[in-house]
Structure 1
Amino acid sequence: MARTKSCLSANFRESDFLTLASLLGVVSFDALTNALQKCGLATKRYRKLPLELMAYYVICLSLYSSVSLQEVLRCLLEGMQWLKLKLPCGAIEGRGGISRARKRLGSKLMEVLFQDVCRPLASPESRFAFYKKWRLMAIDGTTFALPDEKANSDYFGLPPCSRGTTAFPQLRLTVMIEVGTYAITAATHGPFREGENTQAKRLIPHLDSSMLLIADRGFGCYPFFAEAMTSEAALLFRIRNNMKFECEKMLSDGSFLSTFYSGLEHRKKINGSQVRVIEYTLKGAKEKYRLITNILVPEEAPAIELAQLYHERWEIEIGYDELKNHLKLPGTNLRSKTPELVIQELYGFFLAHYTVRTLMYKAVLKKHIDPDSLSFIGTVRILRRKITSARFPPQ
């Protein structure tokens, strides 16, 4: 049965416009202008729906995921008029006009805008986002269901199933988040058949020596670990229990030094990477955890502290929940019907999520409270009804 998107009220409240202004204020108009220039899309003449407007529109699609395309555009246009912005914009278009404008925008601009805007948020004073000298980062993958269109199925593929075929094509996504603030700072995507480790290698350039990357055992393989070491970041990966690591030197904190080899090179003992292995079990549980790290000196990071730190990796699941069940309605697909617009919409979700998380981080700094005490969906609801002052980027 076809679903009908809900409409917004015909009479907007002032707080609706001010909320919109605050949410989009994180993505500055200067950043958008720079992204347009990088992509060779700098505006030479303004259409009814200029590219600047459409970039903000794509972000708004995720903020109002239960509202029809035309209603989201009406909200944006009337908000701009109420705020007396100078960005040229015309009348509300139908679905066809909106689709053509989104195709002109493309996906590359949204990707560049995401890369320019979405950086780690926490300052060194925000100790909840750091372990000693390292900024805590986590990496993991997930999937997004897409509309059942032939173009999406051909490009992204369908997940396998035991009988028949699956209902919807799926996109595979791997992201890196800042653990303390839940901000998504790097992301990559591809067809469903593409593995998380393959995608994760594309995120390695976003690491540096100031970071400590935490990853689950799905990433605990030699090729990815060895390549991640070239970034000079500290690494803390869980590994499978059937992987063999010989104890070369026992350390004072109960961990031991070993060498991580790739495949057949383990027999020849060549081209390995020295690691520190930490093994432990949780109280009352039988499952054994095994971690490896390239922090080889126990005094820099004791084994018990790294064991406690590893479980911070699950914070990334909260970020995925916010994307898939709060910004996007639970159980629904992305809206776009072609691969180019799917990718465009995906980066719109990233920018919207980063916007909300930025505002939450500022609230944490102002009120001196634990960031875990704030609710993501609660923050969105508060912004929609109680904001009393704001600035919108196009000045």
Structure 2
Amino acid sequence: MSGQPVITREIAVAEGVFAPGHLGELTQVVPFEMVDEVLAESGAVQQRLRKLPARVVVYLLLAATLFEECGYLAVWRKLTGALETLPVPTVTATALWHARTRLGVRPMRALFDLLRGPASAIRTAGTHWAGLLVVAIDGTYLDVADDADVRARLGKGANQYTAASGYPQVLLIALVACGTRAVIDAVFGPRKPGEPVLGRRLLRSLHQGMVVLLDRGFATNAFLQAVADADADFLAGLSAVRKPPILRRFDDGSFLSQIGTVEVRIIECEITIATTAGRHTGVYRLATTLLDPRRYPAFELVRVYHERWEVESAYFAIKQSMLSRRVLRARTLPGIAQEIYALLTVYQAIRIAIADATSTVPGADPDRASFSVALHTARDQVIQAAGVIAGTTIDLVGTIGRAVLNHLMPTRRLRVSPRAVKRPLSRYAYKSLRVDRRTYQATISIDILLTGPISPELHGLGL
């Protein structure tokens, strides 16, 4: 009688009580040495060796962002499930709570600061235009627990039916590299005083050699002046109510103007989108500090501005793919900050793994890499405790990278989809409103307008 087949696998993790502290293959992006460094600099290293050392707690918080449907005790079981041959300590949910509280916010913020950045080189496909790194700033909201103290600090949204509704929310504003969708910097806080005010904290990460894409919400005189003072260039959408003066016309149809004390070029264009369902035309206006019409033609600037939507793709990956639109676990303000930094850190680690993989294929655009494929592969590696410590042979791509490269998406096609509330209060609303929610392939035409400033009534779609 033949014996049963036996599959054996070597698992390399840290020794002793540090063994549960890992992030699968992503540990190579967030290595032990990096975590130990931020713990030392933050003064968060434990005074005595506990069952839950500070390094293990950091990795627990990071791993929790990969398994948002689980409580922390269930995440612990995923971290230790493949370590059954090791003397892993038994912990309780209460012990995990105390460990997270002891750790605090500073180590997680410092860890994110070490990882944040464009995750690209000058030759990475799709990241630069005319020698400038293309970046975008925009904001989104994260739902947090409806705890009394949190609600008192953050407030709640309102609608026409009630003075307060839904969950309290944190306003998250990120500076994103459009080519890789990596986070260069991020800030968060209460909904008020609003995006332009909170977003000014991102100016620390702007520098010469960047072109910053901004929507109309950020195109205030003060914010545009601040971006210019940071030596970065901007390309911003303007509302139709503005009346910028025409100081000089250029051959490409744009004209020289001034916003506050900042000298800008104004580009007015008419964009027509045609699908099988019909045609839609809108008039748009952009302002930029890129004043040379020969080096930065108006038509090309309009095309570049479309890259601003990459920041929305980054938020979709965080809120839909990672969070599954769930409310954050934490019920205290320090816990919320700790959880958001962990979320941003793991998101950035996945983007770094994607960028590293696509960089091994000449001309491969990171846009073609599937974030979902990388995310699910990273989860599997955590459960298997695989790839925690690099082998003697350096693998530049890794298991996550190979999964991404094996499932590269086709080059993006132009498609349009109506902007609509994804979770309406009534599931019958779309029937009564007769909203067409289908996505269509489209063709687009851009015409630079040679007339003077447009009037509000001619402003169609808005930017």
Question: 1: distance between equivalents of 2:94 and 2:373?
Answer: 34
Q: Does 1:351 align with 2:345?
A: yes
> Which residue does 1:265 correspond to in 2?
none
Deviates more, 1:163-172 or 1:134-143: 163-172
User: Does the C-alpha gap of structure 1 residues 94 and 215 become closer, same or farther in structure 2, counting only changes over 3 Å?
Assistant: same
> Which residue does 1:173 correspond to in 2?
172
> Which residue does 2:323 correspond to in 1?
328
Q: Tell me the secondary structure at the aligned position of residue 176 of structure 1.
A: strand
Equivalent runs, 1:223-372 vs 2, <5 Å: 223-261=222-260, 272-284=261-273, 285-330=280-325, 332-368=326-362, 369-372=364-367
Q: CA deviation at 1:194?
A: 3.0
Q: Tell me the secondary structure at the aligned position of residue 202 of structure 1.
A: helix
Task: Tell me, yes or no, if the aligned pair for 2:238 and 2:285 is still in contact at 8 Å.
Answer: yes
Q: Which amino acid aligns with 1:336?
A: A
Q: Tell me the secondary structure at the aligned position of residue 232 of structure 1.
A: coil
> Which residue does 2:56 correspond to in 1?
53
Q: Which amino acid aligns with 1:200?
A: G
After superposition, the C-alpha distances for 1:159-211 in whole angstroms (9 at most, x for unaligned) are 12222321311111111111111111211011122301111100001011021
2:70 to 67, 70, 87: 67
Structure with the larger helix share:
1
* TM-score (norm: length of structure 2): 0.74
> Which residue does 1:269 correspond to in 2?
none
Q: Which amino acid aligns with 1:358?
A: I
User: Does the C-alpha gap of structure 1 residues 228 and 61 become closer, same or farther in structure 2, counting only changes over 3 Å?
Assistant: same
Q: Tell me the secondary structure at the aligned position of residue 137 of structure 1.
A: strand
Q: CA RMSD in A?
A: 2.4
> Which residue does 2:422 correspond to in 1?
none
Task: Tell me, yes or no, if the aligned pair for 2:26 and 2:388 is still in contact at 8 Å.
Answer: no
Q: Which amino acid aligns with 1:333?
A: V
User: Does the C-alpha gap of structure 1 residues 388 and 132 become closer, same or farther in structure 2, counting only changes over 3 Å?
Assistant: farther
Q: CA deviation at 1:309?
A: 0.1
Task: Tell me, yes or no, if the aligned pair for 1:249 and 1:256 is still in contact at 8 Å.
Answer: yes
Task: Tell me, yes or no, if the aligned pair for 1:172 and 1:194 is still in contact at 8 Å.
Answer: no
Q: CA deviation at 1:79?
A: 5.2
Q: CA deviation at 1:391?
A: 3.8
Q: Tell me the secondary structure at the aligned position of residue 231 of structure 2.
A: coil
Task: Tell me, yes or no, if the aligned pair for 2:119 and 2:351 is still in contact at 8 Å.
Answer: no
User: Does the C-alpha gap of structure 1 residues 97 and 62 become closer, same or farther in structure 2, counting only changes over 3 Å?
Assistant: same
User: Does the C-alpha gap of structure 1 residues 51 and 232 become closer, same or farther in structure 2, counting only changes over 3 Å?
Assistant: same
1:390 to 382, 387, 401: 387
Task: Tell me, yes or no, if the aligned pair for 1:16 and 1:385 is still in contact at 8 Å.
Answer: no
Q: Tell me the secondary structure at the aligned position of residue 281 of structure 2.
A: coil
User: Does the C-alpha gap of structure 1 residues 382 and 16 become closer, same or farther in structure 2, counting only changes over 3 Å?
Assistant: farther
Larger radius of gyration: 2
Question: 2: distance between equivalents of 1:40 and 1:384?
Answer: 30
Task: Tell me, yes or no, if the aligned pair for 1:74 and 1:92 is still in contact at 8 Å.
Answer: no
- Tell me, which stretches of 5 or more residues in structure 1 are unaligned? 1-12, 262-271
Q: Does 1:35 align with 2:55?
A: no
Question: 1: distance between equivalents of 2:379 and 2:37?
Answer: 29
2:79 to 76, 81, 103: 76
Question: 2: distance between equivalents of 1:306 and 1:182?
Answer: 20
> Which residue does 1:146 correspond to in 2?
144
Question: 1: distance between equivalents of 2:10 and 2:196?
Answer: 44
Question: 1: distance between equivalents of 2:189 and 2:10?
Answer: 38
Question: 1: distance between equivalents of 2:10 and 2:220?
Answer: 50
Q: Tell me the secondary structure at the aligned position of residue 127 of structure 1.
A: coil
Task: Tell me, yes or no, if the aligned pair for 2:105 and 2:338 is still in contact at 8 Å.
Answer: yes
Task: Tell me, yes or no, if the aligned pair for 1:334 and 1:342 is still in contact at 8 Å.
Answer: yes
Task: Tell me, yes or no, if the aligned pair for 2:108 and 2:341 is still in contact at 8 Å.
Answer: yes
Q: Which amino acid aligns with 2:208?
A: S
> Which residue does 2:98 correspond to in 1?
100
Q: Does 1:119 align with 2:117?
A: yes
What is the percent sequence identity of the aligned residues? 27
> Which residue does 1:10 correspond to in 2?
none
Question: 2: distance between equivalents of 1:248 and 1:219?
Answer: 24
After superposition, the C-alpha distances for 1:231-261 in whole angstroms (9 at most, x for unaligned) are 1111111111111101100012111110112
Q: How many residues align?
A: 365
After superposition, the C-alpha distances for 1:26-81 in whole angstroms (9 at most, x for unaligned) are 11222222222332223432222111111111111110111231121122245577
User: Does the C-alpha gap of structure 1 residues 204 and 60 become closer, same or farther in structure 2, counting only changes over 3 Å?
Assistant: same
Question: 2: distance between equivalents of 1:16 and 1:322?
Answer: 30
Task: Tell me, yes or no, if the aligned pair for 1:15 and 1:384 is still in contact at 8 Å.
Answer: no
Question: 2: distance between equivalents of 1:335 and 1:383?
Answer: 21
Q: CA deviation at 1:230?
A: 1.1
Question: 2: distance between equivalents of 1:375 and 1:230?
Answer: 37
Q: Which amino acid aligns with 2:31?
A: S
Q: Which amino acid aligns with 2:67?
A: Y
Q: Which amino acid aligns with 1:283?
A: T
Q: Which amino acid aligns with 1:207?
A: L
* TM-score (norm: length of structure 1): 0.86
Q: Which amino acid aligns with 2:330?
A: S
Question: 2: distance between equivalents of 1:51 and 1:327?
Answer: 24
> Which residue does 1:268 correspond to in 2?
none
User: Does the C-alpha gap of structure 1 residues 206 and 92 become closer, same or farther in structure 2, counting only changes over 3 Å?
Assistant: farther
Equivalent runs, 1:204-219 vs 2, <5 Å: 204-219=203-218
After superposition, the C-alpha distances for 1:95-141 in whole angstroms (9 at most, x for unaligned) are 21111111111112211110111122110111310112111111100
